[in-house]
Structure 1
Amino acid sequence: MSRRVALFLLIFGVWSWVIWITFVKNLWASDQSWAPDGSATAFFVVHLVLAIVSFALGTVIGVIGWRGLRAARRSGHREPSATP
């Protein structure tokens, strides 16, 4: 894996966490998330499951990127230059 691809995967993993943390905060504060008796609605449960899956995928993708960057650094892998 090239350093560029590894960096992209790492940034994607971090971005995924930032976006979904914000989403969960907004979900928690939403009136649609809670029934009048204080229990969670189906809307809340479905969107929380989506967020959890996205956290897991973002973590896996970020770890792959991190490992790719470390491997590229150890091997001294360089990007091919654009000029001949």
Structure 2
Amino acid sequence: MDLPVAVSVLLIVAGVWNFVVWPQFLRRVVKDPRARDEAGKATAFLTVHVVLVAVSLTLGLATGVVGIAALL
């Protein structure tokens, strides 16, 4: 893969950013009272946010891998 070094570094930084930000966000969502109903079951609020975080982390990983591959 032939990308400029600056673009490769940007992709790596974007990937790392996802792994710094999204887990923190998920911790806050899990503690939110809207995350569980009275019976303790997960609500749609929690499910949607878990999917959002999972997709974002997957894309962050892919972005970082592309950035590393471009550097090598």
- Greater share of helix residues, 1 or 2? 2
CA apart distance, 1:55: 0.5
Match of 2:21 in 1: 19
> Would you identify which runs of 4 or more consecutive aligned residues in structure 1 move more than 6 Å?
none
Amino acid at match of 1:2: P
Say whether 1:28 aligns with 2:30.
Answer: yes
TM superposition score normalised by structure 1? 0.81
TM-score for both structures, normalised by structure 2? 0.93
Aligned sequence identity (%):
36
Give ranges in structure 1 of 5+ residues lacking alignment: 71-84
Structure 2 gaps of 5+ residues are none
Shift of 1:23: 0.7
Q: Distance in 1 between matches of 2:17 and 2:29?
A: 18
Displacement of 1:18 in angstroms is 0.7
Distance 1:62 1:17 in 2: 10
- Partner residue of 2:61? 59
Number of the residue aligned with 1:45: 47
Displacement of 1:67: 1.1
Structure 2 distance, partners of 1:29, 1:22, is 11
Q: Does 2:62 match 1:68? A: no
RMSD: 0.6
- The count of residues paired between Structure 1 and Structure 2 equals 70
Q: Distance in 2 between matches of 1:69 and 1:29?
A: 39
